[in-house]
DNA sequence: TATGAATGAGGGTTCATTCAT
DNA sequence: CATGAATGAACCCTCATTCAT
């Protein structure tokens, strides 16, 4: 499991030691995602990583330091916006771009790939934001969301700065995140939902279709979005 | 909400003499929502509730028992499906029903009312389901979702059993939950979003409009939903 | 179980209340004998006695007070020296007197009679003497031991003040107590020992015989006991 | 007794650096013997051993684990059967063997040597047997008792399997244990008994003499022991 | 450098006791 | 008088962290 990510640690030249660090990150990511920061003890992480009990303090100066690094590491490994941009055909119709975006998003989020705990970790940050969330938003989320906004703007036939864009962007994203963030309840409501690849594709198709209908229907009726009530609270 | 225990203390009305049990539930709900089960110590809960350190064990037989009861209590206090049903005009057009549903949902979820920590608590259950989640789904979520499905079916012009209903229901719900579950990131992306009452109404209107467009656009093209890939995993 | 001992509490005339007190003593004696003072919680005692949780503090002013009263109560109920004296035929040969004494002692100690926990309670006092032990020695043990010494003196053919009497008295008593105080180990060494009435009689017979042989053998050779090394420590 | 752990600390010889584990065992043995399992708090043990409050859980996985190890350790340190066997001259008359056995037993039990709390600890196990008692009986008591039985058989002039052997063995042992197990009462009955070395020797002599008389007297009259009433309880 | 024995603050829980009813 | 909800001190134990090796 520690084959693909020595690219950033190769400079020191101590592969065996670096392995410990990376193994620690992998193990910590998994259990932090599963049980949360407070629900995990470093003994378990070290045992899972096959490392010494003092390794966490040695490498990360404590549990919190480890958590911060795990968050960074997770999003370093996550689907980069570049890959997303590459996958999207630049001169295809906007509907098709949206399709690629949504399908890619779903796949990277729900298909149990390498950083399968990324989603859960982020979901935890939503509920209990740590100091690391700011970095995450800046480096990972903002560029992806900018890409989505450009697609949405194209579909709505307006400029990317149009106020409507943010709301329809939210409509797209919300329907994607829903299936990951609410898995436990969804699976209780729909026992036949197993998150197989076919089912994920089916869901993604539905989201694309829904958003397309919504945005096509809204074209030309976007005046309502001009008046946004400034938050005064 | 406090009917079962007030039979012996109801006449005094002293807030300090209000059942220690209830004060503990309120305090615990607040901090459990904020910091999670493991992030909270019962000493804090007791201090907040003005109760003794041993009160939790006396009344709930431990921290876990308290958590279970908090979850029950929270959803007992939450918006009951009855109120929702009452608020919805039975012979209005489906669009209007949807509007009432969504607006009520948003209000009860985001307006900082009494059970303001309900949403967070449920969001935590999503990520780290406890044994209490099954009860919750059965007693609280299923009936509300059934109500939504009936509205969706009406808007799609199909029977409530039609497979498309579940997916469009999800589209509605997902766009509601999004704004609560992802608050921290949303507020970083949209710093002008303060979740004021006007803004909440604005967002709810957008959700209603989007879903309406989507469902109206989908009417008559629901054949795609007939073939659902049975999960084999 | 609370039928035979209202004789001392009948003067107050509150049979129902006194019952609680006595039931508490019975229950406490049982569990104190079984698990020791610290190993028992008053909740258990009250539950066993069918009394309120506050009853112990009400009747005995605390756990320690209860323990003290239990000890008193136990020896009030125990085999009185009078009964023992009555059972011993005054003009029988000394050997027979010893037989009656030992058999009675064994029976009252090992046969699971009413105060079956008396022995265990006293054994606990041996290891961890409480303030109540002095009273016990004075009121219960000393008179019984005096009786035994008179028998031993007769068997040895010396006056009761003769120094040898105390040592042979100890030889008799030690072989009686052994079977009660070391039950757990004895039963592991001799798995066929079930402390049935027949077996107890068999053991008592052995003790009598042994002591008789020893004392008869020692008659006329008791000079050694004249020089007792005064304890200087 | 402290061989397995001293491999890394033996050279320093600092008493303070003596294995924390051993210091804990010593301290725990002392207070467990004095106050019993429930009457002792690990804080006291740790304070007495000069160890940290968490040391018990670290080394023994809890208070119970410590108790179990203390019992093992106590009997590992106690008079081993080997020493006893060495002390007994193989071709001396049986009376002399018995004398060595009893004197050694008394000395190791009552002289305040290193494992002075051994006896008390075992006495407690008698009253409230823990799971560790089985081990103890197997490893420590059985071999010593076998040795005693061989002496008794020789004195009775029968084979070691003869049923009388067990009963006379019990007579010997019971008169030894008596003086340790019933100290508090004995000292109240005999205020001049201070358990000085001279007095212990005096008592041991009495026990040897008594048993010798008894067994010599019983020789040739052992038919009574053939019929042992099978316990049916 | 990496280890693991040792630390100590603080966690949940227990339990004898109290006090208003 | 009897009750049982409530108390708070103290218990055992956990766990992130440290430090000599």
Say yes or no: B198 contacts chain A, CB-CB below 8 A.
yes
**In which residue ranges of chain C is CATH 1.10.10.60 found?**
4-76
pLDDT, residue A83, reads 73
pLDDT of B10: 37
Where does CATH 1.10.357.10 sit in chain B?
79-222
Report yes or no on chains A and B touching (3+ CB pairs under 8 A): yes
Buried b vs exposed e over C107-126: b needs ≥16 C-beta within 10 Å?
A: ebbbeeeebebbbbbbbbbb
Q: What are phi and psi of A29, to 5 degrees?
A: -55, -45
Q: For residue D83, what pLDDT is reported?
A: 73
Cβ of B63 < 7 Å from strand F?
Answer: no
Q: Which of residues 54-73 of A touch strand F (CB under 7 A)?
A: 54, 56-58, 62-64
Whether D94 has its CB under 8 Å from any CB of chain C: the answer is no
Question: Tell me: the pLDDT tens digits for A123-175?
Answer: 888 888 887 788 778 887 888 899 999 999 999 999 999 999 999 999 999 99
Residues 53-92 of D with CB under 8 A from C: none
Residue C94: per-residue pLDDT? 93
pLDDT > 90? residue B89: no
Interface contact C125-D184, CB threshold 8 A: yes
Res B12 pLDDT > 80: no
Task: Tell me what the mean pLDDT of segment D154-179 comes to.
Answer: 96
Best of A99, A134, A138, A182 to substitute, by most chain B Cβ atoms within 10 angstroms, is A182
Give Cα separations from C72 to C42, C44, C105, C213 (angstroms): 18, 21, 19, 37
Closest chain A CA to residue B178: A174
C17 to chain D, minimum CA–CA distance in Å? 32
SS (H, E, C) chain A: CCCCCCCCCCCCCCHHHHHHHHHHHHHHHHHHHHHCCCCCCHHHHHHHHCCCCCHHHHHHCCHHHHHHHHHHHHHHHCCCHHHHHHHCCCCCCHHHHHHHHHHHHHHHHHCCCCCCCHHHHHHHHHHCCCCHHHHHHHHHHHHHHHHHHHHHHHHHCCCCCCHHHHHHHHHHHHHHHHHHHCHHHHHHHCCCCCCCHHHHHHHHHHHHHHHHHHHHHHCCCCHHHHCCCCCCC
Q: What is the structure's pLDDT at A118?
A: 81
**pLDDT of amino acid D5:** 38
Intervals of chain C under pLDDT 70:
1-18, 78-82, 111-115, 231-233
Instruction: Determine the average pLDDT of the residues in D94-102.
Output: 95
Which pLDDT score, from 0 to 100, does residue C214 have? Answer: 96
SS3 for C141-157, per residue? HHHHHHHHHHHHHHHHC
Q: Do A206 and B167 touch (CB under 8 A)?
A: yes
Mean predicted confidence (pLDDT) in B143-171: 95
> Residues of D with CB below 8 A from C212's CB?
217
Q: Is C72 exposed, middle or buried (0-12, 13-18, 19+ CB in 10 A)?
A: middle
Residue in C214, C215, C218 to test binding to D, most D beta-carbons within 10 Å: C214
Say what percent of chain D tops pLDDT 70.
86
Nearest to D127 among C120, C186, C188 (CB): C120
- Residue among D184, D206, D213 whose CB faces C213 most closely: D213
Q: What pLDDT was estimated at residue D62?
A: 92
Q: What is the pLDDT of residue D232?
A: 59
What would the two tokens of residue C183 be? Answer: 């039950």
Mean pLDDT of chain D: 84
Contact across the interface for C232 and D194, Cβ inside 8 Å: yes
Which residue is closest to F11 in terms of CA–C1' distance?
Answer: D41
Q: pLDDT of chain A along its 233 residues, tens only? A: 333 333 443 344 444 556 889 999 999 999 999 899 999 999 999 999 999 999 999 999 999 999 999 988 887 776 666 677 778 888 899 999 999 999 988 888 776 555 678 878 888 888 888 877 887 788 878 888 999 999 999 999 999 999 999 999 999 999 999 998 898 899 999 999 999 989 999 999 999 999 999 999 999 899 989 888 876 55
Q: Nearest CA to CA, how far is D20 from chain C (Å)?
A: 28
Among A83-97, A186-200, B3-17, D17-31, the range with the most confident prediction by mean pLDDT is A186-200
Residues 52-81 of C with CB under 7 A from strand E: 53-54, 56-57, 62-64
Look up the protein residue whose alpha carbon has the minimum distance to the C1' of F21. D8
Mean of pLDDT values over B189-198: 91
Question: What pLDDT shows up at residue D9?
Answer: 36
- Is domain D4-76 annotated with CATH 1.10.274.30? no
Question: What confidence score (pLDDT) does residue B114 get?
Answer: 58
The residue that leads in pLDDT, B177 or D119, is B177
Q: Model's pTM, two decimal places? A: 0.79
Nucleotides of F under 7 A from a protein CB: 1-19, 21
At A111 the pLDDT is 63
Average the pLDDT over B137-160 and give the result: 92
Substitution target from D174, D222, D224 for chain C, most C beta carbons within 10 A = D174
Min Cα separation B37/chain A (Å): 8
CATH of domain C79-222: 1.10.357.10
**Per-residue tokens: B52:** 């003794």
- Give whole-number Cα distances, B28 to B73, B91, C21, in Å: 11, 42, 41
């Amino acid at each position: 499991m520690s084959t693909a990510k020595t690219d950033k640690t190769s400079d020191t030249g101590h592969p065996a030691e670096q392995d410990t660090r990376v193994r620690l990150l992998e193990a910590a990511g998994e259990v932090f995602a599963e049980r949360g920061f407070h629900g995990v003890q470093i003994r378990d992480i070290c045992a899972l990583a096959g490392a010494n009990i003092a390794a966490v303090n040695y490498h990360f100066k404590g549990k919190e330091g480890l958590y911060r690094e795990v968050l960074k590491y997770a999003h370093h490994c996550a689907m980069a916006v570049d890959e997303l941009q590459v996958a999207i055909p630049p001169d295809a119709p906007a509907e098709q771009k949206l399709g690629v975006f949504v399908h890619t998003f779903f796949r990277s989020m729900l298909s149990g790939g390498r950083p399968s705990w990324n989603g859960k970790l982020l979901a935890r940050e939503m509920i209990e934001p740590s100091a690391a969330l700011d970095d995450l938003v800046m480096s990972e989320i903002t560029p992806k969301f900018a890409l989505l906004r450009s697609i949405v703007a194209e579909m709505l036939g307006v400029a990317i700065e149009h106020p409507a864009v943010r709301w329809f962007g939210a409509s797209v994203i919300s329907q994607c995140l829903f299936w990951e963030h609410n898995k436990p309840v969804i699976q209780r409501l729909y026992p036949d939902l197993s998150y197989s690849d076919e089912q994920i594709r089916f869901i993604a198709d539905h989201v694309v279709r829904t958003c397309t209908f919504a945005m096509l229907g809204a074209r030309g009726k976007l005046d309502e979005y001009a008046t946004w009530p400034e938050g005064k609270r």
